[in-house]
Amino acid sequence: CVKWTHNGNSITIYAEDRESRLVHPMIPVPTYTIEVPSIRVCKEEEISQSLSRLAIQKPKKQ
């Protein structure tokens, strides 16, 4: 379970190592489903950059 703060919102992402993919992240507002190939969290800076890209691209809703 990885947790960080982005744009003042607390975001918690649950990742399954065996499947090497992200499971539906929990985001307060707005509610989005973020789909990413496979992310290995190492540094907070990398997480922020990844989130920034996702935020700009506006993830698809399912």
The pLDDT of 7-19, averaged and rounded, is: 50
Q: What pLDDT was estimated at residue 23?
A: 52
Q: What pLDDT was estimated at residue 19?
A: 43
| Angle, vertex CA 34, rays to CA 31 and CA 38, nearest 5 | 160
Dist CA 4 CA 7 (whole Å): 10
Is residue 26 a part of any domain in this protein? yes
Is residue 62 a part of any domain in this protein? no
Q: What pLDDT was estimated at residue 38?
A: 47
Is residue 15 a part of any domain in this protein? yes
Is residue 36 a part of any domain in this protein? yes
Whole domain around residue 22: which residue ranges? 2-57
- Note the pLDDT tens digit of each residue in 29-59: 444 445 554 455 444 556 666 667 666 555 5
Q: What pLDDT was estimated at residue 54?
A: 64
Taking residue 22's Cβ as centre, other Cβ atoms within 10 Å add up to: 19
Is residue 29 a part of any domain in this protein? yes
Q: What pLDDT was estimated at residue 44?
A: 56
Dist CA 39 CA 41 (whole Å): 6
What's the number of domains the chain is made of? Answer: 1
Residue 5's pLDDT band, with cuts at 50, 70 and 90, is very low
